[in-house]
Chains A and B, each alone.
Chain A
C-alpha cells in the first residue's frame, strides 16, 4: 500500500495569508494526486486533480504542485470560507488519503 503523510496536521492563519500544505507519498506516484476540501458535516469536495489541475468552478486562489513523492497545496489569499480540513489522495495504486490538515482562521 502507498502511504500518504501530510504536514502540518493543523494551522491557523489570518485572512489574506498564503497557506501551504505538503503531502508526501511513500513511493513514486507520478502526478496521480488529488486534493479535497471537507467542511464539518459535509461531503468532501474535489479542488485539485492530477497534482495541479484546478477543478471546474474552484476559485483560482487554490493551487497544487509537485510530482513523484512530494506535493504541495496552496491557498494564496485565505478567506473565512476556507475553514475546513484538506486531504490529499493518491490514486497511482488503490487510493489512499492523507491524514488531513485542519485550517483555521487566526
Chain B
C-alpha cells in the first residue's frame, strides 16, 4: 500500500524558514517523480513544485521560485521542501503527491499524503 507521510509544518514568522519532509513507502520510490501541492485556507489547490525520479531536476511555480527548494533522498525514500523567505500568503496545508506514471514529471497525482499545515504569522 502506498503511503506518504508529511511532517515539519508549524508556525513561523514572516521572513523565516521551514523544512517539510515526506516519507514514502509501498512503491518503487526512485522510479517516480513527486510533487508538492498546497491549499491555502478557504482557497483552492495550487501546485507548488515537482522533482524528477532521480532528483536531478526540479520545477517550481512562479509564486515560490527562488524561495523554495525541492530535494529527495532516494536511499531514505524521503522528500524535502526547504522553504525560505516565507510570506503570509504561503500559509497553507502542504501535500506531497506521487506521479501516476514512471518517467514523467508533474503528471496525474495518484497518491497523496494527509498534509501538513504551515502558518506564517507574526
Chain B residue at minimum C-beta to C-beta distance from A53: B108
B59 with A49: CB separation less than 8 A: no
Residue in A closest to B113 when the chains form the complex, CB atoms: A43
Closest to A97 in B: B45
Instruction: Give the docked Cα–Cα distance between A85 and B42 (Å).
Output: 12
Contact with A along B80-122 (1 / 0, CB 8 A): 0000000000000001010010000011111011110000000
For B, the interface residue count at a CB cutoff of 8 angstroms equals 22
A96 x B47 contact (CB < 8 A): yes
Q: B45 is contacted by which of A1, A49, A100 (Cβ under 8 Å)?
A: A100
Say yes or no for A19: interface residue by CB 8 A criterion: no
Chain A positions 48 through 66: 1 when the CB is less than 8 Å from some CB of chain B, otherwise 0: 0110000100000000000
| Contact of A1 with B62 in the complex, beta carbons under 8 Å | yes
Instruction: Please count how many residues in chain A sit with their CB below 8 Å of the partner chain's CB atoms.
Output: 22
A97 with B109, Cβ < 8 A, contacts A1-B62, A43-B95 known: no
Closest CB in chain A relative to B115 CB, distance in Å:
6
Specify the chain A residue showing the minimal Cβ separation from B6.
Answer: A43
Q: Which residues of A contact B37 (CB under 8 A)?
A: 44
Q: How far is the CB of A77 from chain B (nearest CB, A)?
A: 24
| Minimal Cβ-Cβ distance residue in A for B61 | A94
> Chain A residues in contact with chain B, CB under 8 A?
1, 34, 36, 38, 43-46, 49-50, 55, 85, 87, 89, 91, 94-100
